[in-house]
Structure 1
Amino acid sequence: MIKTIILFIVGLILICLGGDRLVDAAVAIAKKMGIPQIVVGATIVSIGTTLPEVLVSTTAAFDGSAAIATGNAFGSIICNTSLIAGLTQTIRPSKKIGAASIRWRSIFFFAVLLAMNIYAYLTEQFNRPAGIVLLLLFAVYAYLNIRRAGAEGEGAEEGAAEENVVVWKQLLILVVCAGLLYVGANLLVDNGILIAEALGVPERVIAVTFIALGTSLPEFVTSVVSIIKGYGNVGLGNIIGANILNMLLVIGIPAAIAGIPVEQSTIRVDMPLAFCVMAVLLIPILIRKKSSRIQGILLLAIYVAYCAVSFAG
């Protein structure tokens, strides 16, 4: 048990260090290239912070733990949105958000999630063809980010560009920090699973709580550090981008490799709830171009209720 606690603490330290430097590097790149913080958060940062989910779900699929693969993906979306975004928006609501940067990503997210929910309801699985389609959609999403980067850059945040920033060095820092985030999250997840199994917690509950929270810690640390450093839009963009990648990659990769069945509880509870919490977060922002503390409090209440119901069930 002492070893487990030590490894847990080491994982937490690695995540905190990686998240801190990752935010600095991402903001430096945004200022240097004149790109809005929310765009960098939804692309470069979200890819780095989503690596734990991708690797955990792929490994779980190979090990035959399908409930972990699907539960981790949609549990992470719920955790990212209701807990992490809920907490950050309660502490410091986002202001002056570029609606254009969020609008098309929101439409993309809701359309893909709705299609996935219908497909899972009809087939009770994400088979290889479905996984391949999700990976193709990732290619489309990446292309749209590249194509629209210039137009979205016109609304970049005020402030002079960082003249002394060397982009390739900052990208290298991002890669190293993403590695630290992965190693740290992996230590936390492994030890969290051991604790949960010792308490007799079911596999799906482990996936949507312990594993989802553990693999979402990079997003959590990144979002909190962004607020502390005054770059709140990086954290918001990271949440949106990470949620999209959770569907396209965290489900897409293991599905394309081996195909994964989907539990009824995921179809009837986790996927619809993921849709609802993202609607609570994004719709007011699209209308008002800013968030409110009420949204954050509501999202936190939803997450508490979700965890309580998951454990009670």
Structure 2
Amino acid sequence: MEELLLRVVPGLPTLVLLIVIGVCILLLSKGADWAIDGVVALARRTGLPRIVIGATIVSLGTTLPEAFVSVMAAWTGNPGLALGNAVGSIIADTGLILGVACVMTRVPMNKFILQRTGWVQVGSATLLVVIALISLWIMPEPVIKRGIGFLFLGLLALYMYATYSWAKSGGNQAMDGEAEDESDEMGIPKSFLMIFGGLFLVILGARVLIPCASECAVRVGVPQDVIAATLVAFGTSLPELMTAFAAIRKGHPEIMVGNVVGADVLNCLFVIGASASATPLAIPENFFLFHFPVMLLILWSFRAFIAMQNKKGYFERWQGGWLLGIYLIYVVLQYALNVNIPH
């Protein structure tokens, strides 16, 4: 699909591109609404917390296409794309999406779930960086080997099982911060259909929107490196962003938190794990100097906010501003220092 878009989009008139962008935005909006409605209904029927469904089913749906693209890129000789996709998405998910959400509205802090999944989120990313540093120390050219890829996939399976177990054992604590559901009840099959149908529309809309928007930016004179550092990087997290906005608009921000935390874990353990299992992933020098430090700064900041145990039960706006500020500085420095992440 990517190659087809790259061939077709440059030949389209600007008016057609603008119409396509408009249609894609509608697909993104409608798909995100369907996905959130499906999550709420599924939580109601199964008794699982919405934050947990966001951290597992929704985040798996939004990261699965990236995992597929990354594995295919690794197989076809572009392994740097996998690492770039994963690290860039983690930074955007936590810095941009969670940051904007905390600035916009009161985002509930489910301490029971976040004290557990939050440690997996920051722990998996820290483990990735530690392994990368060991590789840098013992190898002339650092790589993430296939054995590490299989290790990450094993840790992913443990994470999914542990998240379900925590939700089941947590009782009312696992539901902390979730508003009452007054929507019409639907069956479990229809709930799954809403979730995956909605995610399909969101991913389709994002896949078509970004090449069209990039082409429009080129035609008005925006430099290619600026497009790479902004639009293309932003595009990998667009499904998570749209589902986050839909969750906030419908009064269920806890789904957004679960999606962000789950997507970070999956980008690290699933995207990098699956890609490294296919072929060893070389680690470019700029990851050690720039991308890894920014990723850890954002994730450990989020971890610190959880540890602060806000008595009010939600994240503060200044905390969202801090995360968003790091992300914006990161994007500006990518362009200024010419350290664009591989895409």
Task: Return the TM-score normalized by structure 1.
Answer: 0.89
- Residue matched to 1:152: 170
- Residue matched to 1:132: 150
Report the Cα offset of residue 312 of structure 1: 0.9
- Residue matched to 2:305: 284
Contact 1:52 1:215 in 2 (8 A): no
Is 1:311 aligned to residue 335 of structure 2?
Answer: yes
* 1:101-152, Cα deviation, whole Å (9 max, x unpaired): 0111121122221121021123222221111111111111111122222123
Task: Give the letter for the 1:53 counterpart.
Answer: E
Report the Cα offset of residue 225 of structure 1: 1.1
- Residue matched to 2:40: 27
Taking the aligned partners of 1:209 and 1:59, their CA distance within structure 2 comes to 23
Is 1:164 aligned to residue 177 of structure 2?
Answer: no
Change over 3 Å in CA distance of 1:23–1:267 after alignment to 2: same
Is 1:105 aligned to residue 99 of structure 2?
Answer: no
Contact 1:31 1:162 in 2 (8 A): no
Taking the aligned partners of 1:47 and 1:76, their CA distance within structure 2 comes to 13
Gaps of 5+ in 1: none
Report the Cα offset of residue 68 of structure 1: 2.5
Taking the aligned partners of 2:170 and 2:268, their CA distance within structure 1 comes to 24
Is 1:235 aligned to residue 256 of structure 2?
Answer: yes
Contact 1:70 1:266 in 2 (8 A): no
Is 1:121 aligned to residue 161 of structure 2?
Answer: no
- Residue matched to 2:317: 293
- Residue matched to 1:250: 271
Q: Which moved more, 1:60-69 or 1:254-263?
A: 60-69
Report the Cα offset of residue 232 of structure 1: 0.9
- Residue matched to 2:96: 83
Q: Which moved more, 1:239-248 or 1:124-133?
A: 124-133
Larger-gyration structure (1/2):
2
Q: Which moved more, 1:3-12 or 1:190-199?
A: 190-199
Task: Give the letter for the 1:12 counterpart.
Answer: I
Change over 3 Å in CA distance of 1:192–1:264 after alignment to 2: farther
Report the Cα offset of residue 172 of structure 1: 1.8
Contact 2:55 2:262 in 1 (8 A): yes
Report the Cα offset of residue 92 of structure 1: 0.5
Change over 3 Å in CA distance of 1:303–1:163 after alignment to 2: closer
Taking the aligned partners of 2:249 and 2:21, their CA distance within structure 1 comes to 24
Select 1:92's aligned residue among 97, 105, 108. Answer: 105
Contact 1:284 1:290 in 2 (8 A): no
* 1:195-228, Cα deviation, whole Å (9 max, x unpaired): 788966459x83x643331121111111111111
Taking the aligned partners of 1:38 and 1:100, their CA distance within structure 2 comes to 11
Change over 3 Å in CA distance of 1:6–1:153 after alignment to 2: farther
Q: How many residues align?
A: 310
Report the Cα offset of residue 9 of structure 1: 3.5
Contact 1:51 1:182 in 2 (8 A): no
Change over 3 Å in CA distance of 1:19–1:210 after alignment to 2: same
Contact 1:189 1:215 in 2 (8 A): no
Contact 1:35 1:152 in 2 (8 A): no
Select 1:176's aligned residue among 184, 197, 205. Answer: 197
Report the Cα offset of residue 188 of structure 1: 2.8
Contact 2:42 2:188 in 1 (8 A): yes
Q: Secondary structure at the match of 2:268?
A: helix
Q: Secondary structure at the match of 1:154?
A: helix
* 1:13-49, Cα deviation, whole Å (9 max, x unpaired): 3222211110111011112222222112111111112
Contact 1:86 1:299 in 2 (8 A): yes
Q: Secondary structure at the match of 1:64?
A: coil
* 1:36-79, Cα deviation, whole Å (9 max, x unpaired): 22112111111112223223322332343333221111111111
Task: Return the TM-score normalized by structure 2.
Answer: 0.82
Is 1:272 aligned to residue 293 of structure 2?
Answer: yes
Q: Secondary structure at the match of 2:107?
A: coil
Taking the aligned partners of 2:268 and 2:158, their CA distance within structure 1 comes to 14
Q: Which moved more, 1:181-190 or 1:288-297?
A: 181-190
Task: Give the letter for the 1:48 counterpart.
Answer: G
Map 1:3-22 → 2, pairs under 5 A: 3-22=16-35
Change over 3 Å in CA distance of 1:197–1:62 after alignment to 2: farther
Change over 3 Å in CA distance of 1:61–1:18 after alignment to 2: same
Contact 2:17 2:216 in 1 (8 A): no
Q: Secondary structure at the match of 2:237?
A: helix
